[in-house]
Amino acid sequence: MTTDISRLVIAIDGPAGSGKSTIASQVAEKINGRKLDTGAIYRSFALYAASLGITDYENTDWNDVVKGFHLEFKTGGEIILNGRSITDEIRTPDNASAASRIAVIPQVRAALMDIQRTLALPGPTVCEGRDMGSVVFPDAPWKFFLTATPEVRARRRFLELSEKGSSVTYEEVLEQQIERDKRDSERDVAPLKPTSDAEIIDSSIMSIPAVVSLILSKLKINN
């Protein structure tokens, strides 16, 4: 008997470079659902804050800032911020680092939570991020936590950036990866960690199709 997923949220969490974005996209396609990239929401918000000249994160009224933050996810993956395409712009290492710093602020996380929950409806939606199963959708019936070694994740990110013409080195990516992992796992609000009811998948030596097949098998969906 297959699972009725018409109303479900499937939570996929994990650190940067664990493959969760690609895997979430493919799982969503297999179940005829949608993917919600919540990391892109934080990166978009960091870019928006930078466009306003905000540098003092601790003394900013984020509830006021979020009022002017209007985000759209278009078919095909394009991301529109206040009428402007920012799909590639949010993926730079500097903006990713800014997003990680801004994401530790409780007021920011609270302000963006309602946006995430609204964008996830209607289901089925595969929601990928860092606290989907623990905070945003704690009652999600299916929770997965993807991981891989820092070296593997940095290599994946380095190749992705190189294909886009970036001159960043592997060593720089690895250093940023380790720093970001530390921030994400040690922050006071919604630290990056698997919930007790999450299925942990180490993708270090697994192919993307293998991970997708494993998740679909847990969902009882034929691949």
Q: Is 58 exposed, middle or buried (0-12, 13-18, 19+ CB in 10 A)?
A: exposed
CATH code of the domain in which 53 resides:
3.40.50.300
Q: Which stretch of DSSP H or E encloses residue 52?
A: none
Cβ atoms 149, 103 nearer than 8 A: no
Name the residue range of residue 188's domain: 9-212
Q: Which amino acid is at 97?
A: S
Q: How long, in residues, is the chain? A: 223
Task: Give domain status of residue 218, yes or no.
Answer: no
Partners of residue 85 on adjacent β-strands = 80
pLDDT tens for each residue of 8-63: 899 999 998 899 989 999 999 999 888 998 889 999 999 999 999 999 998 999 99
Give the global pTM. 0.79
Two tokens, residue 5 = 């997923």
Q: How many domains does the chain have?
A: 1
Task: Give domain status of residue 122, yes or no.
Answer: yes
